[in-house]
Every structure is written in C-alpha cells, then in structure tokens.
Amino acid sequence: MERYVLVRIHGRVQGVGFRAWVHHQAELRGLKGWVRNRRDSSVEALFAGSSTAIDGMLHACREGPRGSKVDR
C-alpha cells in the first residue's frame, strides 16, 4: 500500500543544496513526489511510497545535508 506524506522543513534549508539533496535521497529510496523551495525560506516536499521508505526519508530530512540546519 502506498503512503503519501506532505512535509515542510524549516531552518537553514535554502542556499545549501537542500532541495537537490532531498530529490536525490528520495530517488535512492524509490519514492515518488516533488520538492520545492517556498517563499518563506522553507522547503516543502510530497513523498509517495512505502511506509518504510517514507520513514527513512523523514529521518534523513531531520538531519539534512552538510551546511544545512533543520529547526523543525
């Protein structure tokens, strides 16, 4: 069964390659969806796939790539 999750990530997540990193991490996990920068300096993403893959992706998003700082 496919699961869908919409997330918004706040912190230092623009100008550090966060969006491209999320896209790559989602592909590695076999997830579908999209990711975009928002005007309020957050990043928003929709993930679709297995619960296991989405849980792994959510955990990864809490850490982020080098140079980022996820507040919430």
* Residues 13-64: tens digit of each pLDDT: 999 999 999 999 999 999 999 999 999 999 999 999 999 999 999 999 999 9
Residue 54's pLDDT is 97
Dihedral (CA of 24, 30, 32, 33) sign: negative
Give the residue from 67, 70, 55, 69 showing the smallest Cα distance to 25. Answer: 55
Closest residue by Cα to residue 51 from 23, 21, 30 = 30
Enumerate domains of the chain plus CATH numbers: 3-70 (3.30.70.100)
pLDDT above 80 (res 1)? no
pLDDT of residue 26: 97
Active site residues: 19, 37
Classify residue 41 by its DSSP letter: S
- Which pLDDT belongs to residue 60? 97
